Amino acid sequence: MDTAEFKKVGHKLGQFLRRFRDSFQTAPSRQHFRTYIRGQLSDLERKTITPMAQQAGVPPRSLQEFVEIHCWDAAQMRGQLQTIVRKEHADENAIGVIDETSYAKKGDKTAGVERQYCGETGKTDNCVVTVHLGYVTNTFHALVDSDLFLPEETWAGNRVRCREAGIPDEVIYRPKWRIGLDLLARSWEQGIRFRYLVADEEYGRSHLFRNEVATYGIDYVVEAPCSLQGWTKRPATLAAGKRTSKKGRVPTRQRLASWAPRSRQVDQLWKRGGPSWQAFHIKDTDKGPVVWEVRLTRFFPWEEGLPGPEQWVIIARHVLTGEVKYFLSCAPKETATEELLHVAFSRAHIERLFEDAKGQVGLNQFEVRKYQPVMRHLVLSMVSLLFLVRETDQQEKKRIIVEPASAPADCLGAA
């Protein structure tokens, strides 16, 4: 957003920020809040505290103290953001998207920093990872919750290090899929509702994650690893439930599994024969149409040695690149393939949100180290991004990123 555009929306921004006034106890904190958000939405090249403060004509130290030590309620601010989304952007077909992003950081003092895979640099690197929940409709998308991933051994297992970084003792290690579920539960309490939920294989590989999402009445369409095992038909020896031996004893789970037909990995389902590939036009790009070929069937995934709930398994292959993705979905049997694919590829929305959050509002440009200011920066960035998205939606019609449609089988897809 350049300077001219920013001046045009300045009045709207003031009205928007007043909706969060109850998060603050004092007028100085409210003023610093406005300074921070205006700085994130400005055309500054670097949206860190010093240039944002200097642009506003305030001492950098005062804005630093606002993020680090001022008394204000980031949880209340997050709740207000979710209320705005719930009341003004509700959609009965809304899609929830859970995904993570990373921020390359130097040193070892920033809360959660660790050598781990960093999507920002595309390699194992020193970085911080956060998990996010996106809200997606045909005309709107936003981030509605965020949390910090705390590596298990070097952080959660070292309480001295945690206390030095201001991490409360109650903040413990949680796998990323558990953080995703916690974000879903928190937004659900605020009245956010989803018809579908999507996530990549980091989350989809866990049957605990999938089954808990289903308890909300949400139909998930999640990526799964190629090593996922299961059956295309429920094993007959297990279909009737528990089975007793001749002596009347209930066999162990391992014995039950040994009676069943051998499960297969999803990438080995149809080496010979099987359902035909169906081609679908997923979206248009500047390089032309994107086309994926799809096979799908009903499937019982392996869950601790036994078949899990019946669902869809979808194998999608990019016509041009040959890239293959595997999806699991608990959507009803009658769900159209086009709808399943529309939901599956809606993960592109959160990638765009991360791109805008980093490129437009400085989500990745924080220089604070302790836990509370990092978490506050995440919430402040979600507020800035929400305003940016809402204004963009009002000024130009948003093109739906994923528009699946059947296409000739010999059609090529763009990279």
Q: How far apart are the C-alpha atoms of 144 and 131, rounded to whole Å?
A: 11
pLDDT at 234: 86
Helices (H), 94-216: 159-164, 176-189, 201-204, 207-215
In the predicted structure, residue 201 carries a pLDDT above the cut 90:
yes
Q: How far apart are the C-alpha atoms of 225 and 228, rounded to whole Å?
A: 6
Spatial contact of 289 and 320, defined as CB atoms under 8 Å apart: no
The position carrying tokens 């989350």 is 203
332 to 26, 179, 335: CA distances (angstroms):
51, 27, 6
The pTM assigned to this predicted structure is: 0.90
Q: How far apart are the C-alpha atoms of 327 and 309, rounded to whole Å?
A: 15
What one-letter code names the amino acid at 261? Answer: P
Q: How far apart are the C-alpha atoms of 282 and 401, rounded to whole Å?
A: 9
In the predicted structure, residue 389 carries a pLDDT above the cut 60:
yes
Q: At 112, is the pLDDT very low, low, confident or very high (cuts 50, 70, 90)?
A: very high
pLDDT at 404: 43
Q: At 11, is the pLDDT very low, low, confident or very high (cuts 50, 70, 90)?
A: confident
Q: What is the average pLDDT across 68-78?
A: 97
Mean pLDDT over the full length of the chain = 89
Spatial contact of 364 and 309, defined as CB atoms under 8 Å apart: no
Q: How far apart are the C-alpha atoms of 102 and 113, rounded to whole Å?
A: 10
Of 10-24, 43-57, 389-403, the range with the lowest mean pLDDT is: 389-403
CA 55, 57, 60, 63 torsion-angle sign? negative
388 to 14, 177, 288, 381: CA distances (angstroms):
13, 28, 28, 10
In the predicted structure, residue 394 carries a pLDDT above the cut 60:
no
pLDDT at 411: 46
Helices (H), 173-270: 176-189, 201-204, 207-215, 236-239, 253-259
What one-letter code names the amino acid at 221? Answer: V
In the predicted structure, residue 7 carries a pLDDT above the cut 70:
no
Spatial contact of 230 and 301, defined as CB atoms under 8 Å apart: yes
Q: At 5, is the pLDDT very low, low, confident or very high (cuts 50, 70, 90)?
A: low
pLDDT at 261: 67
Q: What is the average pLDDT across 291-296?
A: 92
Q: What is the average pLDDT across 248-268?
A: 66
pLDDT in tens, 221-245: 999 999 999 999 888 655 444 444 4
- Comparing C-alpha atoms, which of 187, 218, 220, 217 is closest to residue 85? 187
* DSSP letter assigned to residue 3: H
Q: At 41, is the pLDDT very low, low, confident or very high (cuts 50, 70, 90)?
A: very high
pLDDT at 290: 87
pLDDT at 255: 55
3-state secondary structure 264-284: EEHHHCCCCCCCCCEEEEEEE
Which token pair is 232? 């295309």
pLDDT at 347: 93
Percent of the chain with pLDDT over 70: 86
Q: Which regions of 61-193 does DSSP assign to beta strands (E)?
A: 95-104, 114-118, 123-136, 141-148
Percent of the chain with pLDDT over 90: 76
Spatial contact of 344 and 314, defined as CB atoms under 8 Å apart: yes
- Comparing C-alpha atoms, which of 105, 109, 113 is closest to residue 164? 109
Q: What is the average pLDDT across 323-330?
A: 97
